[in-house]
Amino acid sequence: MALKFKEDCCIGCGNCAEVCPVEVWEMEDGKAVMLRPDDCIECGACVDGCPENCISLE
């Protein structure tokens, strides 16, 4: 599986960065950035936590 992120739909709420246990996400200029995608353990927390459904595991 791979983490997919639709950058354009991010509203900058910060949930993904908050819930990720391995700090894949950082907030930059009011948007989420996948800074450490290789660290993802595919727990799904950011997928479930994004209010705009910008993130998926495919």
Residues lying near ligand SF4 in the complex (CB under 6 A)? 3, 10-16, 19-22, 24, 32, 40-46, 49-52, 54-55
Q: How far is the CB of 38 from ligand SF4 (least distance, A)?
A: 10
Q: What sign has the CA pseudo-torsion 23, 51, 58, 5?
A: negative
Q: What is the DSSP string of 6-52?
A: -GGG-----HHHHH-TT--EEEETTEEEES-GGG-----HHHHH-TT
